[in-house]
Amino acid sequence: MQVLTTLITPDGEGVLPGSPEFLAAIGDADPNFDSIAFAVKNLGFIKIQLIEDLVVEIEIHPRNVELPALLAVQQCLLSCTARLFRIKYLTTEWCSEISSSAERTVARLSEICVPAFTPPSSERFVVESQDLSFLFADDRNPMRPLVQKWRV
């Protein structure tokens, strides 16, 4: 069985496991740990394995994936001739999904990698830096004692 493994960096570049580019990206020239799993879980790499031109396995940690890496993987999947696609992703535990369509796999990757929470924008509290020197000149301003205290 012929297996080809490629890693996609957070910048969207493809590197081979154990290559100097990969080792430089993880910051360890001689790792004594599972460097591929470390890169996927912690550094935002995406692992792609092509098995006999029949199955494509994608291993991903959605919380750490950057958009250029996701787009590079999706582009790769759309040009692939494989018949089955397996997505293995980490939430609180490893989950796995299988699809027979590249388009459905691309759509599912987009769904998985959406941020879980986006804080709503609020204009309620806006901080603007201001010159407080005008408060020192105004003896009647109720904020003057506070500014004097900050100055001390």
Question: Residue range 3-10: average pLDDT?
Answer: 92
Q: Is residue 132 part of a domain?
A: no
Domain membership flag for residue 117: no
Q: How far apart are CA 13 and CA 98, in angstroms?
A: 25
Q: Answer yes or no: are the C-beta atoms of 77 and 71 closer than 8 Å.
A: no
- Asked if residue 67 is part of any domain, the answer here is yes
Please give the average per-residue pLDDT across 98-117, as a whole number. 89
Tally of domains within the chain: 1
25 lies in a domain?
yes
Looking at every residue in the chain, the average pLDDT score rounds to 87
* Least confident segment among 43-47, 61-65, 146-150: 146-150
The verdict on residue 11 lying in a domain is yes
pTM exceeding 0.75: no
Asked if residue 152 has pLDDT above 60, the reply is: no
Boundaries of domain holding 91: 3-112
| pLDDT at 93 exceeding the cut of 80 | yes
Instruction: Give the mean pLDDT of 128-136.
Output: 74
Task: Give the Cα-Cα-Cα angle 37, 41, 45 (nearest 5 degrees).
Answer: 85
Question: pLDDT confidence of 119, banded at 50, 70, 90?
Answer: low
Residue 14 domain-assigned? yes
Looking at residue 62, what DSSP letter applies?
A: G
Q: Calculate mean pLDDT across residues 43-51.
A: 93
